[in-house]
Chain A
Amino acid sequence: MNFSAQELRQLALPLLACLALLAAGSALITWTEGRHAAAERALTAARAERSQAKERLMRIAEEEREVKEKLEIYRRLKDIGILGEEQRLEWADAMARIRTARELPDLRYRIERQQPLKTVPGKPANVEFYASRMQVVLALLHEGDLLHFLGDLRASGNAYYAVRSCSLGRTGQPAAISGLSPRLRAECEIDLITILDRAAKA
């Protein structure tokens, strides 16, 4: 069926209305799609933020656990004087105290100059480990004196005492009647290790 121009004009209004309805529908879709995209973006951002927050939380929790664990050791090191400047006078006092306390016939020592210890790479620059090598010569009445000496030395603190070598031999002297002449001679090399943390607060 062919329509006249007048009849086609009658179709114009419904066509316009149809187009308007379709345009309204398209606009509605465009608007909701926009909202949808925005909501998805917000969700992605929220998820990223959550991931970041959880990661940060995990890191801080791990750091807290590590700090709590290491802080105890750190405090102990500080308390016994391993952390801090060398206390050479304290060492000398300790040697004298031990000799007297253990009634050692002879005790000679020599502490060499402080040397930095080699450490692993990546360590913070403001933490340094130092070692001062001490050579000790002891005259002993029996072997136990050496063990007591080393024990007392560790207990005196002010450094970490890393024994590098110890030799123990007979003096060759015959046993004295009084029984106080040394029968053994010991020579030890001990590293007196201290740690200097320049970031440490007093």
Chain B
Amino acid sequence: MKRLVYFTADDHSVYTWSGGKLAVEAKFPGDDLGVTAFREYLSGRRGALFYAVADLAGEDFHEELIPYLRGADRELVVERRLAQRYRDTRLAAALSLGHVRGERRNERLLLTSFTNTQRLTPWLDALAESEAKLAGMFSVPLLAPALAARLGVRAGRCFVVTANSAGLRQCYVDEGKLRFARLERTLDMVPEALAAFVRSETGRLAQYLSTLRVLPREGPPIQVMVVAPPGQRAAFERTLVSDTRLSFLTVDQTEAVRRVGVKSAPPGVGAEQLYLHLAVRQPPREQFARREDRRSYVLWQLRRAVLAAGAVGLAGCALYAGASWVEVVGARAEADRVQVETRAAQDEYQRITSAFPVTQTTTDNLRATVVEFTKIARQTAPPERALVYLSRVLEDFPLIELDTLQWRVEAQPGRSARAPAAAAGAAAADAARAPTELLEISGRVGTMRRSDYRAITAEVQRFADALRADPAYQVQRTQLPFDVTSEGTLSGDIGTGADTGEAPRFTIVLARSVQ
């Protein structure tokens, strides 16, 4: 729960704030008795969190120009300017109004303080003595820019006018920055009278600011945002007629409360509830309390920050651990899936082994026996095939008479030489060792005269050509009855008239690869 001390000229109230709900907890007179009562009140609330909001007349506003500075140098200059302007700087603040355009970029400051700080310091001392955590000391004007923004005025010049318990509060806000404010006490007035008072005071304010040249004399009308007391909007609108200088926009306090976000407030509380709520929800950076007055609050914030850092660290770790755990879950699920696959493979293995064909020997012996036997069988050939082939060819050569046939299987040593050098693999070696079946055919050409050597030679060559008809067979060697080659010896017996009757022999060697 947060507490707000609302300082006015007459009395000071303590509000509690929780979730946008304001409630009055205590009220104290503004004299010494009130301070004593406040001390008693605080004794039961040591270390409580407080926000202080002053709504007092006599708040000074003064513009200053300082060089373009940053950090400690700026702070030092600001402190000096405040000290030059105000005798008591305990409740003084400097609001930056931005930098002047130009080479030097001087900074414009609005120095502000209360003309009578002595009325407030005993109360701040009481808070400090009770070790209360003072979040800040604000004045209502400091909160006016936030209220203007909440009510829809975020840029340009505007007057924010509210009817507070302390009186009629008028704040001049330029481009979201406070420039001036004043508080005019009001007595109980009927709505029309109050509206007229607002009209006249706003005109006076505009006139005053124009005189100070804070407001330009010419230009568009200044927007005046007036928060009318509940139910008085119509009366205000009737009275507050816009002109070339001022453009009035009236908002009912009930509507303003809704826009600002106040959930509830005690009955009869004026527009100060808007400022009190904003002090908690949207406190401005600049405020009056010095660092020493806020020491407990800063320490409290530091403790909270340290704890929050720990909590954030834990949350980060938990997040990382969560992500890691997701991976763990994923890895476990994957492992389960893999194990299911493994079991399926193992079951399949068991099924195969249980139904494995019954062999009468070992698998290695089975493999060796069959492979070796197949290889041997592939390297052998039956003679029938060549003999049948020869028989079929012979049907077309009735003159050919065979004497002897010699069939054999032998390795072809010449083939290894023909094997490509690169083919050094097993297949090439097998091919090189591939046996060949050879059929040596010896015979003669019958019913022809020996002297008819041309016809005999032609018949043998025709026979050899016929044996080549099947491409699987190759005629490896042909020995003709007459050696007609230049390397051989050709002999004849012409003119004797004698014919031995024996037909000349020929030999043909037919070859076929066994594989």
Contact = CB atoms under 8 A, between A and B. Distances in A.
Interface of A: 1, 3, 7, 10-11, 13-15, 17-22, 24-26, 28-29, 31-33, 35-36, 39-40, 42-43, 46-47, 49-50, 53-54, 56-57, 60-61, 63-64, 66-68, 70-71, 73-74, 77-78, 82-83, 117, 119-120, 123-124, 126-127, 129, 143, 146-147, 150-151, 160, 162-170, 188, 191, 193, 195, 197, 199-201
Given A14-B303, A165-B408, A197-B361, A32 B328 contact: yes
B383 A10 contact: no
B311 interface: yes
Interface stretch (B245-253, B263-271, B330-338): B330-338
A197 B406 CA distance: 35
A12 to B, nearest CB: 10
6 contacts: A10-B303, A32-B324, A47-B338, A53-B345, A70-B367, A200-B365
Contacts of A169: 403-405
B387 interface: yes
Given A14-B306, A167-B407, A200-B365, A33 B342 contact: no
Given A21-B313, A33-B324, A60 B349 contact: yes
A170 B317 CA distance: 106
B120 interface: no
A10 B296 CA distance: 10
A24 to B, nearest CB: 6
A167 B404 CA distance: 7
Interface of B: 291, 295, 298-299, 302-304, 306-307, 309-311, 313-318, 320-321, 324-325, 327-328, 331-332, 334-335, 338-339, 341-342, 345-346, 348-349, 352-353, 356-357, 359-377, 380-384, 387-388, 391, 403-409
A64 B356 contact: yes
B342 A50 contact: yes
A32 B327 CA distance: 10
Nearest to B426: A120
Given A67-B357, A74-B366, A197-B365, A36 B377 contact: no
Nearest to B324: A32
B352 to A, nearest CB: 5
Nearest to A169: B404
Given A74-B361, A124-B368, A163 B349 contact: no
A21 B373 contact: no
Given A32-B328, A43-B334, A57-B348, A126 B365 contact: yes
Contact of A64 (B315, B338, B352, B388): B352
Contact of A67 (B303, B332, B359, B371): B359
A29 B324 contact: yes
A26 B346 CA distance: 42
Given A160-B377, A163-B382, A199 B365 contact: yes
B403 A170 contact: yes
B363 A11 contact: no
Contacts of B360: 74, 78, 200-201
Q: Which 9 A-B pairs have the closest CB atoms?
A: A25-B317, A18-B310, A21-B310, A165-B408, A39-B331, A53-B345, A162-B380, A169-B404, A70-B370
Contacts of A167: 404-407
A18 to B, nearest CB: 3
B311 A124 contact: no
Nearest to B367: A70
A166 B408 contact: yes
Contacts of A163: 380-383, 407, 409
B345 A165 contact: no
A163 B377 CA distance: 11
Contact of B372 (A17, A57, A119, A150): A119
A77 B372 CA distance: 12
Contacts of A166: 383, 405-408
A50 B338 contact: yes
B362 A199 contact: yes
B299 A11 contact: yes
A61 B325 CA distance: 40
